[in-house]
Amino acid sequence: MTRYVIIGSGAAGISAIEGIRSRDGKGEIHLITDDPFGYYSRPGLAYLLTGEVNEATLYPFSKETFKRLEFRLHRTQIDRIDPQQHKIINREGKELRYDQLLIATGSTAVELTIPGHQLSGVMKLDNLTDVKNILKRARRGHSAVVIGGGITALEILEGLVAKGMKVHYFVRGDRYWSNVLDEIESRIVEHRLKEDGIKIHYFTEAEEILGRKGKVVGVRTKQGQVIPCDLIGVAIGVHPRIEVAKNSDLTVERGLVVDDYLHTSQPDIYAAGDVAQVYDPLTGKSILDTLWGPARAQGYVAGLNMAGYQKKFVKPPAFNVTRLAGLTTTIIGAVGAGRDEDVVGIARGDSESWRQTPDAVVAQNNFEVNRLRLLVGWRTLLGAVIMGDQSASFPLQEIIQLQLDISSIRDRLLTPGAPLVKLVTEFWKETLNAGAQ
Ligand X SMILES: Cc1cc2nc3c(=O)[nH]c(=O)nc-3n(C[C@H](O)[C@H](O)[C@H](O)COP(=O)(O)OP(=O)(O)OC[C@H]3O[C@@H](n4cnc5c(N)ncnc54)[C@H](O)[C@@H]3O)c2cc1C
**Interaction site with ligand X (CB under 6 A):** 7-13, 32-35, 42-43, 45-46, 77-78, 104-107, 125-126, 151-152, 155, 241, 244, 273-274, 290-293, 295, 320, 322, 348-349
Least Cβ distance, residue 228 to ligand X (angstroms):
27
The residue type at 16:
A
* CB nearer to ligand X: pick between 158 and 427: 158
* CB nearer to ligand X: pick between 275 and 423: 275
* CB nearer to ligand X: pick between 347 and 421: 347
Assess contact for 346 and 352: CB atoms under 8 A. yes
> Alpha-carbon distance 151 to 322, whole Å?
8
The sheet carrying 226-228 orders its strands as 206-212, 215-221, 226-228
Least Cβ distance, residue 78 to ligand X (angstroms):
4
Those residues with Cβ within 8 angstroms of residue 18's Cβ, 6 or more apart along the chain or in another chain = 69, 299, 300, 303
> Alpha-carbon distance 386 to 371, whole Å?
6
Least Cβ distance, residue 42 to ligand X (angstroms):
3
Q: Distances from the Cα of 321 to the Cαs of 63, 151, 301, 358, in angstroms?
A: 28, 11, 23, 20
Task: Count the residues in the chain.
Answer: 437
Least Cβ distance, residue 271 to ligand X (angstroms):
9
* CB nearer to ligand X: pick between 221 and 322: 322
Burial 159-179 (b: 16+ CB within 10 A, else e): bbbebebbbbbbbbbebbbbb
Least Cβ distance, residue 433 to ligand X (angstroms):
31
Beta strands in 222-267 (DSSP E): 226-228, 231-235, 238-240, 256-257
Least Cβ distance, residue 380 to ligand X (angstroms):
23
* CB nearer to ligand X: pick between 350 and 406: 350
* CB nearer to ligand X: pick between 188 and 235: 235
* CB nearer to ligand X: pick between 277 and 290: 290
Those residues with Cβ within 8 angstroms of residue 316's Cβ, 6 or more apart along the chain or in another chain = 401
> Alpha-carbon distance 106 to 242, whole Å?
9
Least Cβ distance, residue 77 to ligand X (angstroms):
4
The sheet carrying 269-271 orders its strands as 72-75, 28-33, 3-7, 100-103, 269-271
Least Cβ distance, residue 322 to ligand X (angstroms):
4
> Alpha-carbon distance 119 to 211, whole Å?
7
**Secondary structure element (H or E) that encloses residue 310, with its range:** none
* CB nearer to ligand X: pick between 21 and 239: 239
> Alpha-carbon distance 108 to 105, whole Å?
9
* CB nearer to ligand X: pick between 18 and 34: 34
Least Cβ distance, residue 208 to ligand X (angstroms):
26
